[in-house]
Each structure stands twice: as structure tokens, then as C-alpha cells.
């Protein structure tokens, strides 16, 4: 799969830093990008706001950049986005101030949108447990036509009073809560953090996270843990350890469909089950819809110099999946600092082509990628850049690159891009 058009700048508001993007379907056949902004295109003149921009499947912008949060005091940070089950999308984020029923420190906030980008209802508070700190939300479909939010909490609505726990809340498609806030992790020693949410291929969902210990065999440092759920929110099986390589730390997981009816978990490892003994590597593990592992843990990155970290995973539009991450170095042309790298996989888990560099603007840092289908049969990668391929030279900007569906000639993927749009937003 080759790039569609050029790298493009997402943000039109360019004052101060634009950071930590998320991307997902918008419900209208295109996609929407969210990020944390050190200012706002709207009413929020405080420290940080949540901004968004919708795109049509052609890559053209759909409307103007918009502000998500209506409560504007303090910091709004780390957005996540998912279909809401009603034909639109939902954005969740962390709020570091007093809003709703949660006393000052941090809460999890949300806002639903219709497919045309209009708001559905008001901004709402996700967490009902309000003691101490709630942060780093993730969101995804719940398999029952609604959505589920997971986050890390300094404390718990359940049994975990050790340190940080993973909490969750399900919602119906109309935005009403489906059951109560619940604790995800059953292993409660030390810290549980960095959750991610995805469908499990069996009609339910799966939540994965980083644990300072393990419910399984990993007593080395940090492990990747998971828990599957049925569509009604009941647990399916026990908490399980994802990583089989247990030397040193494993952290920052992501989860997505594998194209074969199951799911795939990727994460950063301070070591490797494969050839990368340089520093951090990107590791993966595929699962069938019944939760059984498919083949062995595998190393994603082939460029192994220095550190590889912050992976994201999503459908590639060709029946497989794609993993993206930021690399301290590059398999391509970027030898300045951090670059954005990617690797596609077929539905059987075999690599589809070589590792590739996403960014074409190469000065300074390119970090924190996210990936999602673009609505045109391909996928889009977004990240924040210390600089810009466009007009934003004030600080960090949000950049994007679309990739088109593969074209085959005599059974081989062709580089001919004439059959699909090269529209640059």
C-alpha cells in the first residue's frame, strides 16, 4: 500500500503545542482526528483543550477544526475516540480540574457526536469513583451496540486499594450507562495502567493494560495483561498475561482486529523475543476469537538500532492489520531524531511488505502515532511533529498521512496509484 497524496497538517490553530493525537471513524464514511492543544480554536483559553478535525473519505476536510470540551478550566488531555453505536462517534479525555462530581485532581470526561459532527447531548463525566486521580482513558465498541471506556485510576471502585487500578464503564448506544463502573484487573499488587480497548472477535470486547507485576509468569518487572468480556459486560475467562518474553519491562499496549476474526495486541518491550537486543522493541501477539493464542509472540520492527516505542494498531483496509510506532532512528530517510515507522500484516499474521517510514517531514521529532481506517479502503496515520510539513512552526503540530488500498497486477501489489485519489487535504 502506497501513500495517497502528501503528508498533511491536521491543525489549523497553530499557537502553542498540538499533541497526542487519536484517530477513528466518524460515522459518515470518513475519519476524525482528535488531539490536545496548548490553546484553542474555540472558547477555551486555559492551559489545554481537546481539538478535533473531521475528514471525508477523499481526505478533504469536513467542516472546520472544532473544540470538544465545553468545560474550560484547567487541563484537558489525552483524547481517545471510537464509534458510539448510534452512527456517530464518542470522544473521551482526562480533565485535570473540578468538573461534575469529581473533586479537584482529575476525572474522565466524554462527548458524543452525530455523524455530521454535531454534538449529541452535553459533555459528561465517565467515572463515578472520584477519589484521587483518573487518567489515560481508552474507548472502543462493546459488542452490544454501545461503547466501553477504560482508564487508570489511583484507587478503585472495587477491590484494588494497592495503587493504580484499571476501571471501566459501559454505555448503550443512546449514551446512557449500561451497568455500574467496574474494576477490570483482578491482580491488584502495585500499579496497573495504560489501558487499551478493542473488539475480541467473539461478539464482546477485550481490555489490555500494563501491570507492574503479573497474574501469570512474568515476575521480572512489567507485564501486559488482558481481560475478555462478553457483550453484556460479564467476564469471559480469567485475567491473562499476553507477553511470553518476560525479561525486563513490557509496557504501553494497543489492541485491534487482526483481520482473521480475532484480535492482536502490540506493545513496547525493553528487550525482545526476536532479534532486537539494542533497546526497546515492538512486540505482538495474535489471538483467535475464543481467546487462544495464534502462533507465538513476534517482533514487529526490523530496524533495531536504538529504541522503538509507543505502538498503535488498526485495520489496514486490505483484510489485515497495520502497526505503527515511533523509532529513535529510521529504516528510511529520517536520520534526524524520532521517526514514524509502520509494518503491515496479512490476516494470517505474515508480513505484507517491508517496514516503512511514514513521515516525509524529517527535521526533529515525529512521535506518538495513531492509526485507523480512512473510509476509502485504506488507512490513515496521524502523529505529532516538532515542526510541520505545513504552516505550523510555533511548536508541535499534528501531521497525517493516508495510504490507499493495494492494486494487484498478476497477483503482485503494484505501485500504480492512478486508480485512486491523490487528493491532499
* Residue-level pLDDT at 392: 65
Show the CA angle centred on residue 79, arms to residues 77 and 83, nearest 5°: 160
Query: Cell numbers of 62, please?
Result: 469536513
Stated as kind and residue range, the H or E segment containing 147 is strand 147-154
| pLDDT band of 409, cuts 50, 70, 90 | very low
Give the mean pLDDT of the chain.
Answer: 89
- Span 385-409, mean pLDDT? 81
* Residue-level pLDDT at 419: 33
State the sign of the Cα–Cα–Cα–Cα dihedral 140, 36, 20, 193: negative
47-80 tens-digit pLDDT: 799 999 999 999 999 999 999 999 888 889 999 9
Residue 220: C-alpha distances to residues 211, 242, 250 (Å):
11, 14, 10
| pLDDT band of 186, cuts 50, 70, 90 | very high
Residue 108 pLDDT > 90: yes
- Show the domains of the chain with their CATH numbers: 3-17+98-414 (2.120.10), 18-97 (no CATH)
| pLDDT band of 421, cuts 50, 70, 90 | very low
Specify whether the CB–CB gap between 257 and 269 falls below 8 A.
no
CB atoms within 10 A of CB 10: 28
- Span 211-226, mean pLDDT? 82
| pLDDT band of 248, cuts 50, 70, 90 | confident
* Residue-level pLDDT at 324: 98
222-245 tens-digit pLDDT: 999 999 999 999 999 999 999 999
| pLDDT band of 363, cuts 50, 70, 90 | confident
CA torsion angle 301 23 167 218 (round to 10): 0
DSSP 329: B
Specify whether the CB–CB gap between 295 and 283 falls below 8 A.
no
134-184 tens-digit pLDDT: 999 999 999 999 999 999 999 877 776 778 999 999 999 999 999 999 999
* Residue-level pLDDT at 221: 75
The reported pTM is: 0.92
- Span 364-376, mean pLDDT? 96
The candidate with the shortest Cα–Cα distance to 424, out of 8, 81, 99, 66, is 8
| Higher-confidence position of 209 and 419 | 209
Residue 424: C-alpha distances to residues 51, 141, 168, 341, 419 (Å):
21, 30, 38, 21, 16
Specify whether the CB–CB gap between 212 and 270 falls below 8 A.
no
267-326 tens-digit pLDDT: 999 977 777 666 789 999 999 999 999 999 999 999 998 899 999 999 999 999 999 999
Query: Cell numbers of 168, please?
Result: 471501566
How far is the C-alpha of 307 from the C-alpha of 205, rounded, in Å? Answer: 31
* Residue-level pLDDT at 136: 96
- Span 208-232, mean pLDDT? 88
CB atoms within 10 A of CB 15: 14
Amino acid at each position: 500500500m502506497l501513500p495517497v497524496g502528501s503528508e498533511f497538517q491536521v491543525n489549523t490553530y497553530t499557537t502553542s503545542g498540538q499533541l497526542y493525537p487519536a484517530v477513528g471513524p466518524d460515522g459518515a464514511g470518513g475519519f476524525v482526528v482528535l488531539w490536545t492543544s496548548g490553546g484553542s480554536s474555540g472558547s477555551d483559553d486555559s492551559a489545554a483543550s481537546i481539538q478535533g478535525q473531521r475528514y471525508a473519505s477523499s481526505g478533504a476536510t469536513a467542516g472546520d477544526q472544532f473544540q470538544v470540551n465545553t468545560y474550560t478550566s484547567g487541563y484537558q488531555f489525552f483524547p481517545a475516540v471510537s464509534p458510539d453505536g448510534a452512527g456517530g462517534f464518542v470522544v473521551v479525555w482526562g480533565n485535570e480540574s473540578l468538573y461534575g462530581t469529581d473533586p479537584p485532581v482529575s476525572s474522565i470526561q466524554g462527548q458524543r457526536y452525530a455523524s455530521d459532527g454535531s454534538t449529541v447531548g452535553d459533555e459528561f463525566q465517565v467515572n463515578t469513583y472520584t477519589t484521587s486521580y483518573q487518567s489515560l482513558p481508552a474507548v472502543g465498541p462493546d459488542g452490544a451496540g454501545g461503547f466501553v471506556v477504560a482508564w487508570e485510576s489511583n484507587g478503585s471502585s472495587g477491590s484494588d486499594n494497592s495503587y493504580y487500578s484499571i476501571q471501566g464503564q459501559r454505555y448503550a448506544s443512546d449514551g446512557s450507562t449500561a451497568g455500574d463502573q467496574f474494576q477490570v484487573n483482578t491482580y491488584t499488587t502495585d500499579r496497573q495502567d495504560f489501558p487499551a480497548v478493542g473488539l475480541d472477535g467473539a461478539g464482546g470486547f477485550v481490555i489490555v493494560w500494563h501491570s507492574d507485576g503479573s497474574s501469570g509468569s512474568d515476575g521480572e518487572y512489567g507485564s501486559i495483561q488482558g481481560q475478555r468480556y462478553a457483550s453484556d459486560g460479564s467476564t469471559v475467562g480469567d485475567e491473562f498475561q499476553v507477553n511470553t518474553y518476560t525479561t525486563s519491562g513490557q509496557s504501553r499496549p494497543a489492541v485491534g482486529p487482526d483481520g482473521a476474526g480475532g484480535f492482536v495486541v502490540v506493545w513496547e518491550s525493553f528487550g525482545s523475543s526476536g532479534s532486537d537486543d539494542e533497546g526497546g522493541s515492538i512486540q505482538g501477539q495474535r489471538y483467535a476469537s475464543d481467546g487462544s493464542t495464534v502462533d507465538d509472540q513476534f517482533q514487529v520492527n526490523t530496524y533495531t538500532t536504538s529504541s522503538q516505542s509507543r505502538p498503535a494498531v488498526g485495520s489496514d483496509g486490505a483484510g489485515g492489520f497495520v502497526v505503527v510506532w515511533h523509532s529513535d532512528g529510521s529504516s528510511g530517510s529520517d536520520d534526524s531524531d524520532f521517526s514514524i515507522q509502520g509494518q503491515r500484516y496479512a490476516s494470517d499474521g505474515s508480513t505484507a511488505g517491508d517496514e516503512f517510514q511514514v513521515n516525509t517531514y524529517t527535521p526533529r521529532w515525529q512521535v506518538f502515532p495513531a492509526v485507523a481506517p480512512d473510509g476509502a479502503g485504506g488507512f490513515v496515520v496521524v502523529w505529532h511533529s516538532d515542526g510541520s510539513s505545513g504552516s505550523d512552526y510555533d511548536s508541535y503540530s499534528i501531521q497525517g498521512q493516508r495510504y490507499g488500498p493495494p492494486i494487484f497486477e498478476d497477483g503482485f501489489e503494484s505501485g500504480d496509484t492512478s486508480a485512486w485519489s491523490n487528493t491532499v487535504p
